[in-house]
Structure 1
Amino acid sequence: MDLIPKPDQVVSAVGNVAHLVMYGGLADLRPMPRTLIDEGNLREVYHYRPAAGVEQSGDPVLLVTPLAAPSSCYDLRRGCSLVEHLVEQGRPTYLVEYGQVSFKDRALGMEHWIDEVVPTAIREASAHAGGRPVHVVGWSLGGIFAVLSAADQPDLPIASLSVLGTPFDVTEVPMVAPLRPLLNLELPDSLRPLTRLYQAIGGAPQPLVRWAFQLSSVQKLVTKPLALATHLDDREFLAQVEAVDAFTAKMIAYPGRAFGQLYHRFVRGNDFRGGSIRFGQRTIELSSITAPVLVFGGATDGIAPVAAVRALLPLLTGSPEVQFEIVPGGHLGMLTGRGARATTWEALDEWMSRWPAAPVKQTRTARKRPSKKTAKATPKRTQIGSNPQRRYDSKASRGLAGG
């Protein structure tokens, strides 16, 4: 609203406040209807029902949920729901989520998601869609799960891979970089309170996860009351804030061992930056990915800044094509903010339409992996900001090409 509100702004503000008081909110938080098609230990695979009067076509899309985040990241509210957008486009749309994490899951590490959860979800989505290869989309830590699964099992029926807001170099994350020298000090176990704490309680509890997510945008949190007061006439703004609050309230706990791996390997060791990640007796090489990859960086993302996300690009030497896009928004906003409809979602639509593939023979077990030598022989092209006429900040994206 203006400093001195206009009459129409006052009317809109009064109407919004009245609706809030009478109905408890402005956002349409109804989830898109879906059907459970597969489940296992911390694995639930859903198929979203087709929109009425819309014929489904094209290869299926699987949305990979981050650990500790609710699946509403992809279905935030009607009008700002990537799921709704894909369904209305006629895309067969699937999602894998993990349910509530409890103390009994404390021994589960990242291997559980890389070996079992995500690969099984890809195969189930492909089988349910008639054996079509799958466009895999992962946001935040979901992107890490998708990338590592694709690298570990290049034979998965993947048509393309899209990664949004996923940092691969924590030295470029302002929240973490200053702390790493302290975290890497050699201290006795008795002086490592964080390690002892997560081991004792079996992971990172839900309130801590919620607090950490809110801390990443502390400036917005502090100025939120003023922002709400000055936007009382903006129904869309108020609805978006309400939807983000509902998303944050549903954060899920981290299993103990998986949290420990992320803390030691990702935050302290920055292992992902080298492109080789060791789990037990095996090493996963990101150069083994043979699918085309689309990478998104959020222009104002504090959790996964552009430079931290861009670090993935030179590691994808086995991919036939890599495309990088900078889109508006912070960590969640780049995925499902009000501006994502004309930026991120359009880029995803264009990308997936470029990679139609023939049906594949679907099996329930992993097939023999192609050798690394074969994967690396595939020519690779890297595009930066592919559509300057439409894409937000494409000139800035292109400028990164020489960096």
Structure 2
Amino acid sequence: MDLVPKPGQVIAAAQNLTHQALYGGLADLRPMPRSLIAEGPRRDVYHYRPTPGTVPDGDPILLVTPLAAPPICFDLRRGCSLVEHLVRAGHPTYVVEYGEVSFKDRNLGIEHWVDTVVPTAIQEVSDHAGGRPVHVVGWSLGGIFALLTAADRPDLPLASVVSLGAPFDVSEVPIVAPLRPLLTLSDGLPEGWGAVTAAYRLLGGAPKPVVGWAFNLASVQKLVTKPLAIATHLDDADYLAQLEAVDRFRSQMIAYPGRTFGQLYHRFVKRNALAGGSFRLGDRSIDLADLSAPVLVFAGATDGIAPVASVRAVVPLLASAREVRFEIVPGGHLGMLTGRAARTGTWAVLDAWVREWASRLEPAAKAPAASTRPTAKAAGKKAAAKKTAGKKAASRKTAGKKAAAKKTAGKKAAAKKTATKAAAKTATPKKATAKSTRTPTKRTSTAKKAPAADAPAIGANPRRRYGSASSRSLSG
């Protein structure tokens, strides 16, 4: 609203306040319809049902949620939902979520998600989609899980991996800096003797209130200025609806399992283990340099939890990836995923990425079928032409016999001459058929070349995009 509101702004503000008072809010919080297709311990895989009039096509997309965040992060509200956007665009869309974490889950570690949850979900989605390769899209810690899984399991049916707001260099995260003196207090003590370790073991993990407090800490400035922001946007229904949806998201944070929280604390925060590109898990080491699938990395321009520098650190570690692209998009940690600016930023780049890699993977499988179709058609036409010629020859032969019985030897010679001309005429359609067969083959090959020439441009921020070669050069 203007400092001195216009009459139209006053009317709009009054309507918004009335709607909130009567109906409890402005946001359309209806979830997108979905069906459960597979389940397991802390693993529920859902398929979002297509909208009426839309026929899903292409490779499936699997959304991987992070720990502690509710799955509504991908389906925040109608009009600002990544799920709604993907489904309406015709992408077969799936999500894996973990349910409520309780004290009984305290012994679950990162192994559970990297060894079981994510790879099993990828295979289940591929099977449900008819064996097609899967685009795995992970947000925050979900992006880390997706990249570690892809590096560890090259046998999985992967089309590409997309990481959004996943910090790989914790030293670049400002909110960790004030805690560094506390992180060194237990240095020299055996693992498990520190105060933080004792606390999460006693509680069985990081409780919901602690997780919510940590998430809000990264956006404390927005919380302080929130009343003023509401007052200056009372006439903007979409802005107020977004605030309502984000408030609901914050209120539904989920606890961390004890062992997983301990691994994140000791390895990610204290030792910054991911910054080196390898991660020790069980009896093996997962190296990001082993990941071969195409990778798209997103960073939010105003992200306080995963700043640009901490996210970009993963780019030079993906030395063997088929392609690596890095994009800076508008928004904070949640805003880059499903904020109002994500509609024309993150989502547009994601759409183009999925289209590009689908077009590179599919033609090789379709080419043999396309090349054999004209040949089969031509063979059918030739067979039909031969059959027709045979019937005509038989008919003329019978007529010749009847004429021979009634007419003289001179007329027999005339009949033979007529039969010779008829045979010559019958042979003519074969040449025409062969010529028409070659024409469709030529058109088919021409049609295949057209999509490559019209390949969509990738990236909402061209100056901030890195191809594979330039990405790897960042490590120098």
How big is each residue's C-alpha offset from its partner over 1:247-291, in whole Å with a ceiling of 9 and x where there is no partner? 111110000000000011000010000011001210001111110
How big is each residue's C-alpha offset from its partner over 1:345-390, in whole Å with a ceiling of 9 and x where there is no partner? 0100000111123599xxxxxxxxxxxxxxxxxxxxxxxxx969x7
Q: How far is the alpha carbon of 1:391 from its aligned partner?
A: 1.5
Q: How far apart, CA to CA, are the structure 2 residues paired with 1:354 and 1:4?
A: 49
Q: How far apart, CA to CA, are the structure 2 residues paired with 1:32 and 1:9?
A: 32
Instruction: Determine which of 222, 229, 245 is the counterpart of 1:243.
Output: 245
Partner of residue 333, structure 1: 335
* 1:299 and 2:368 matched: no
- Tell me, yes or no, if the aligned pair for 1:83 and 1:93 is still in contact at 8 Å: yes
Partner of residue 315, structure 2: 313
* 1:32 and 2:38 matched: no
Instruction: Determine which of 338, 342, 345 is the counterpart of 1:343.
Output: 345
Q: How far apart, CA to CA, are the structure 2 residues paired with 1:31 and 1:221?
A: 26
Instruction: Look up the SS of the partner of 2:138 in the other structure.
Output: strand
Q: How far is the alpha carbon of 1:308 from its aligned partner?
A: 0.3
Partner of residue 86, structure 2: 86
Q: How far apart, CA to CA, are the structure 1 residues paired with 2:228 and 2:121?
A: 43
Q: How far is the alpha carbon of 1:179 from its aligned partner?
A: 2.6
Q: How far apart, CA to CA, are the structure 2 residues paired with 1:124 and 1:278?
A: 26
Q: How far is the alpha carbon of 1:210 from its aligned partner?
A: 0.9
Q: How far apart, CA to CA, are the structure 1 residues paired with 2:157 and 2:188?
A: 45
Q: How far is the alpha carbon of 1:187 from its aligned partner?
A: 5.8
Partner of residue 56, structure 1: 56
Partner of residue 378, structure 1: none
Partner of residue 132, structure 2: 132
How big is each residue's C-alpha offset from its partner over 1:204-226, in whole Å with a ceiling of 9 and x where there is no partner? 00111111111110000011111
Q: How far apart, CA to CA, are the structure 2 residues paired with 1:359 and 1:50?
A: 25
* 1:391 and 2:454 matched: no
2:460 partner amino acid: R
1:343 partner amino acid: G
- Tell me, yes or no, if the aligned pair for 1:133 and 1:359 is still in contact at 8 Å: no
TM-score by length of 2: 0.76
Q: How far apart, CA to CA, are the structure 2 residues paired with 1:221 and 1:387?
A: 38
Structure 1 pair 265/250, CA: closer, same or farther in 2 (3 Å)? same
Q: What is the aligned-residue identity percentage?
A: 66
Task: Kindly report which structure 2 residues correspond to 1:80-159, keeping only aligned pairs within 5 A, or say none.
Answer: 80-159=80-159
Structure having greater relative contact order (Cα 8 Å, sep ≥ 6):
1
* 1:4 and 2:13 matched: no
Instruction: Look up the SS of the partner of 2:22 in the other structure.
Output: helix
* 1:162 and 2:168 matched: no
Q: How far apart, CA to CA, are the structure 1 residues paired with 2:466 and 2:89?
A: 29
Q: How far is the alpha carbon of 1:194 from its aligned partner?
A: 1.6
Structure 1 pair 191/290, CA: closer, same or farther in 2 (3 Å)? closer
Instruction: Look up the SS of the partner of 1:96 in the other structure.
Output: strand
How big is each residue's C-alpha offset from its partner over 1:132-165, in whole Å with a ceiling of 9 and x where there is no partner? 0000000000001101111111111110000000
Q: How far apart, CA to CA, are the structure 1 residues paired with 2:133 and 2:205?
A: 35
- Tell me, yes or no, if the aligned pair for 1:292 and 1:322 is still in contact at 8 Å: yes
- Between stretches 275-284 and 158-167, larger displacement belongs to 275-284
Q: How far is the alpha carbon of 1:395 from its aligned partner?
A: 2.9
Q: How far apart, CA to CA, are the structure 1 residues paired with 2:112 and 2:211?
A: 20
- Tell me, yes or no, if the aligned pair for 2:326 and 2:464 is still in contact at 8 Å: no
Partner of residue 448, structure 2: none
Q: How far apart, CA to CA, are the structure 2 residues paired with 1:178 and 1:396?
A: 30
- Tell me, yes or no, if the aligned pair for 1:293 and 1:321 is still in contact at 8 Å: yes
2:58 partner amino acid: G
Q: How far apart, CA to CA, are the structure 2 residues paired with 1:12 and 1:236?
A: 12
Q: How far apart, CA to CA, are the structure 2 residues paired with 1:293 and 1:398?
A: 11
Larger Rg: 2
Q: How far apart, CA to CA, are the structure 2 residues paired with 1:191 and 1:341?
A: 47
Q: How far apart, CA to CA, are the structure 2 residues paired with 1:295 and 1:44?
A: 25
Q: How far apart, CA to CA, are the structure 1 residues paired with 2:10 and 2:23?
A: 20
Q: How far apart, CA to CA, are the structure 2 residues paired with 1:120 and 1:221?
A: 39
Q: How far apart, CA to CA, are the structure 2 residues paired with 1:263 and 1:272?
A: 12
Q: How far apart, CA to CA, are the structure 1 residues paired with 2:303 and 2:81?
A: 19
Q: How far apart, CA to CA, are the structure 1 residues paired with 2:15 and 2:362?
A: 52
Partner of residue 13, structure 1: 13
Q: How far apart, CA to CA, are the structure 1 residues paired with 2:324 and 2:34?
A: 32
**CA-atom RMSD in angstroms:** 2.0
Unpaired runs of at least 5, structure 1: 361-385
Q: How far apart, CA to CA, are the structure 1 residues paired with 2:363 and 2:276?
A: 34
Instruction: Determine which of 258, 261, 265 is the counterpart of 2:260.
Output: 258
1:294 partner amino acid: L
Q: How far apart, CA to CA, are the structure 2 residues paired with 1:288 and 1:163?
A: 17
Partner of residue 354, structure 2: 352
Q: How far is the alpha carbon of 1:398 from its aligned partner?
A: 6.5
- Tell me, yes or no, if the aligned pair for 2:62 and 2:135 is still in contact at 8 Å: yes
Q: How far is the alpha carbon of 1:195 from its aligned partner?
A: 1.4
- Tell me, yes or no, if the aligned pair for 1:72 and 1:247 is still in contact at 8 Å: yes
- Tell me, yes or no, if the aligned pair for 2:200 and 2:262 is still in contact at 8 Å: yes
Instruction: Look up the SS of the partner of 2:136 in the other structure.
Output: strand
Instruction: Look up the SS of the partner of 2:27 in the other structure.
Output: coil
Q: How many residues align?
A: 376
Instruction: Look up the SS of the partner of 1:277 in the other structure.
Output: strand
- Tell me, yes or no, if the aligned pair for 1:132 and 1:358 is still in contact at 8 Å: no
- Tell me, yes or no, if the aligned pair for 2:324 and 2:466 is still in contact at 8 Å: no
Instruction: Look up the SS of the partner of 1:262 in the other structure.
Output: helix
